[in-house]
Amino acid sequence: MMFHRGEFTIATRSRGTYDITHDVATIVAASRAGDGLATIFVHHTSASLIICENADPTVRSDLERFLGDLVPDGDPRFDHVAEGVDDMPAHVRTILTQTSIGIPIEASKLGLGTWQGLYLWEHRTTPHRRRVTVTVIGA
Amino acid sequence: MMFHRGEFTIATRSRGTYDITHDVATIVAASRAGDGLATIFVHHTSASLIICENADPTVRSDLERFLGDLVPDGDPRFDHVAEGVDDMPAHVRTILTQTSIGIPIEASKLGLGTWQGLYLWEHRTTPHRRRVTVTVIGA
Amino acid sequence: MMFHRGEFTIATRSRGTYDITHDVATIVAASRAGDGLATIFVHHTSASLIICENADPTVRSDLERFLGDLVPDGDPRFDHVAEGVDDMPAHVRTILTQTSIGIPIEASKLGLGTWQGLYLWEHRTTPHRRRVTVTVIGA
């Protein structure tokens, strides 16, 4: 059994999804695990992780529209407006998606399905630096 | 410390929840782990995992109705309609639930609570084959 | 590589979020893992886990209001009302949040971001005892 940890930072430009599949796969390759589990964790409460269809970008623009309507910026129900109209929606959107995801490692590779991509979802409308840690436990 | 991986496929008939608790427990038993962690992963973006009350089936029919109303099939806001009116809703429903879940192994068994069952949720309205991987890391 | 498991129980008073960061950190410290992964699991289907902003309590009161409006108590669409008007909403709210979360252990500590706290979210309106298990796999 072996343990490996890697991390990287994504500089986001604005609200939206950022493909981090390759960043995570690079850490998995560096770990030299043949079999195992990669657990991805984002160290923030206004950005999150999703595994999403990776072929047609309209899937992610539709997701954006859906969540934008479900949790509107500037919703007068929200008291927490310290950092702007997108502040509290970003926290709600994070809660409704994922902060950590565990993915199997098979044959030294991230065992995602054919149409699965791993994305960091920036929920704030302004640029941020987002730290992601990948923990590999393997054999 | 030990590592074990197992997998199975569920042939779904239509949208709905499929109890996979027993399938996962069988892999945990085969691993011979006494203590550990079982991480369940589904390799798709239009089917997902939930841990849900396992006694009264109306819980799951109520869940189905709730999500069906929240993310309606054929919603004109969606551009991604390549595979039909249930295509994009299936992706949204997956994002709002889980693609991976980690469950403790206690005394060689899946440590679920009394009322917890593990379900694969098929979000498409047509039959599909869904691959699930169980990664066991234990002692 | 090492394995450690700890558990604790939270006596909830009513619906709301309960900070369990310290309870989990205590188990991580007891494990003596220098590096690793802590997976937190709640053994119930009407209480869940979230990682949320830990500085301003209005974030959590806003979350409460948002989910209360999204999944109203006493919603006439729900058939599962065995334990009261908050019964089925509690199951839906659990499905939309998390039952398990994996957090990296870095330098013998829970590797949460500066503004991240770990909360148990009681979704029932009456007091309950909630069991939480922490599985530590480390080096």
pLDDT, tens digit (0-9, with 9 covering 90-100), for B124-139: 999 999 999 999 999 9
Q: Can you count the helices (H) and strands (E) in chain C? A: 3, 8
Closest residue to B77, CB basis, from A53, A65, A113: A65
CB contact under 8 A, C131 and B138: no
Distance from CA of A78 to the nearest CA of C (A): 6
CB contact under 8 A, C115 and A45: yes
Residue-wise pLDDT for C73-116, tens only, equals 999 999 999 899 999 999 999 999 999 999 999 999 999 999 99
Q: State residue A90's pLDDT score.
A: 98
Residue-wise pLDDT for B33-42, tens only, equals 999 999 999 9
Spatial strand order of the sheet with B16-19 comes to B16-19, B116-122, B47-53
Residue-wise pLDDT for B53-99, tens only, equals 999 999 999 999 999 999 999 999 999 998 999 999 999 999 999 99
Q: State residue C41's pLDDT score.
A: 98
Residue-wise pLDDT for C7-41, tens only, equals 999 999 999 999 999 999 999 999 999 999 999 99
Measured between CB atoms, does A19 come within 8 Å of chain B? no
CATH superfamily placement of domain A2-138: YjbQ-like (2.60.120.460)
Residue-wise pLDDT for A75-130, tens only, equals 999 999 989 999 999 999 999 999 999 999 999 999 999 999 999 999 999 999 99
Rounded CA separation C131/C73 (Å): 24
Q: State residue A133's pLDDT score.
A: 98
Sequence-ordered list of residues with C-beta below 8 angstroms from that of A68, at least 6 positions apart, any chain: none
Rounded CA separation C100/B51 (Å): 10
Q: For the CA atoms of chain B, what is the radius of gyration?
A: 16
Q: State residue A56's pLDDT score.
A: 96
High-pLDDT (> 90) share of chain B, %: 99
ipTM entry: 0.97
Quick one: closest CA in B to C97, which residue?
B97
- Domain extent listing, chain A: 2-138
Quick one: closest CA in C to A76, which residue?
C62
According to DSSP, the β-strands at C128-138 and C2-12 are: antiparallel
Using 50, 70 and 90 to split pLDDT, how confident is the model at B116?
very high
Rounded CA separation B114/C130 (Å): 12
Give strand ranges (E) for A1-139.
Answer: 2-12, 16-19, 36-42, 47-53, 100-106, 109-110, 116-122, 128-138
Q: State residue C52's pLDDT score.
A: 97
Q: State residue A41's pLDDT score.
A: 98
Closest residue to C35, CB basis, from A3, A77, A98: A3
Q: Which residues of A touch C104 (CB under 8 A)?
A: 5, 39, 41, 133, 135
Using 50, 70 and 90 to split pLDDT, how confident is the model at B112?
very high
Residue A75 to residues B71, C30, C56, C132, Cα–Cα distance (Å): 20, 43, 18, 34
SS3 category, B45:
coil
Distance from CA of A103 to the nearest CA of B (A): 7
Q: State residue B96's pLDDT score.
A: 98
